[in-house]
């Protein structure tokens, strides 16, 4: 059955048809789609129209095109969240009905870089602590976390405890309260450090969230860089008309 049933652009009809077929299970997650020749013939459209539809579907992360291999259906993200509010990774995992976990990798203490001095408004005698952890869902690694902050902001036994929430530890003294964060999101392909930690092949994309966490006095108290598996997580933002 061809899709020339309405007056919209054909590539939009192709997008809707392919999404419908994926939703109906005609094309399953991680399954390879038919060739462009076969798809264009079955849908009754040109290969140029099909390619435009596939390009947009790839931008939406519905499919992934692997050079020299073919086009595959991406699995639906298990975890989704808005980024208007600060919410923990654990809460996102729990909302999906899975058990959150954390694996401590390492913590290193070092002198502040020039960027640290500007970011945290600290001096050269302060020590900066970098903490690396992996967050898991039902035991599967899904997020690689790198957190960086002045060591004096945390209790001295934080590293030994390992499993304690970073936010809870940061606010334990009562002197620091994380009020808001500024977030930057970047998509990346295979990452030499993060991808192996998350058991990702070269075909699995990552989403990198870089966040500057501020206290009530607009002072940066934590910088985090989190690598999320794009096949597991999606993020959205609600935009209101003004």
Statement: residue 3 has pLDDT above 70: no
pLDDT digits (tens, 9 = 90+) for 185-237: 898 888 999 999 999 988 788 999 999 999 999 999 999 999 998 888 877 66
Higher pLDDT, 142 or 237: 142
Place of tokens 């975890």: 79
b/e sequence 38-75, b meaning 16+ C-beta within 10 Å: ebbeebebeeebbebbbeebeeebbbbeeeeeebbbbe
Give the number of other Cβ atoms within 10 Å of residue 126's Cβ.
16
- What pLDDT is stored for residue 236 in this prediction? 67
Give me the DSSP letters along 107-136.
EEEE---HHHHHHH---TTS-EEEEEEEEE
Compute the distance between CA of residue 220 and CA of residue 42 in angstroms, rounded to an integer: 56
Give the chain's mean pLDDT: 86
d(CA 138, CA 101): 7
Segment 26-53, tens digit of pLDDT: 998 888 999 999 999 999 999 999 999 9
Long-range contacts of range 111-119, CB-CB < 8 Å, 24 or more positions apart?
112/150, 116/148, 119/212, 119/220, 119/223
Residue 142 CA, distance from chain mean position = 9
Residue 126, token pair as written in the block: 């302060």
**pLDDT average, residue stretch 177-192:** 90
Reading the block at residue 195, the tokens are: 């991808």
Identify the band that residue 1 occupies on the pLDDT scale cut at 50, 70 and 90: very low
Helix, strand, coil fractions of the chain, as percent rounded to 5:
25, 35, 40
Sign of the CA dihedral with 4 first, then 58, 21, and 71 last? positive
Q: What is the SS3 string spanning 8-48? A: CCHHHHHHHHHHHHHHCCCCCCCCECCCHHHHHHHHCCCHH
Q: Whose structure tokens read 């003294």?
A: 173
Q: Which two tokens stand for residue 54?
A: 């596939």
pLDDT for the residue numbered 133: 93
Mean pLDDT of 98-110: 91
What's the average model confidence in pLDDT over 92-98?
82
The answer to whether 169 and 154 are in contact (CB under 8 A) is yes
- The pLDDT value recorded for residue 225 is 96
Share of the chain above pLDDT 90, in %: 48
Distance from C-alpha of 122 to C-alpha of 13, rounded to nearest angstrom:
56
């Amino acid at each position: 059955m061809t899709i020339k049933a309405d007056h919209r652009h054909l590539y939009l009809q192709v997008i809707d048809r392919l999404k419908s077929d994926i939703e109906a299970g005609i094309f399953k997650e991680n399954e390879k789609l038919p060739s462009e020749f076969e798809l264009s013939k079955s849908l009754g459209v040109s290969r140029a129209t099909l390619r435009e539809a596939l390009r947009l579907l790839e931008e939406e992360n519905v499919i992934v095109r692997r050079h020299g291999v073919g086009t595959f259906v991406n699995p639906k993200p298990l975890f989704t969240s808005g980024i208007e509010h600060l919410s923990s990774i654990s809460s996102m995992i729990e909302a999906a009905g899975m058990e959150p976990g954390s694996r401590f990798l390492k913590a290193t203490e070092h002198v502040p870089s020039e960027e640290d001095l500007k970011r945290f408004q600290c001096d050269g005698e302060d020590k900066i602590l970098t903490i690396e952890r992996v967050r898991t869902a039902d035991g599967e690694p899904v997020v690689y976390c790198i957190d960086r902050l002045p060591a004096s902001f945390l209790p001295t036994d934080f590293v030994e405890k390992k499993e304690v929430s970073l936010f809870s530890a940061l606010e334990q003294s009562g002197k620091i309260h994380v009020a808001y964060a500024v977030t930057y999101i970047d998509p990346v392909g295979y990452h030499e450090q993060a991808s192996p930690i998350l058991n990702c092949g070269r075909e699995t994309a990552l989403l990198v969230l870089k966040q500057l966490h501020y206290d009530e006095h607009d002072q940066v108290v934590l910088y985090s860089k989190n690598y999320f598996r794009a096949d597991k997580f999606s993020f959205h933002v609600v935009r209101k008309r003004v």
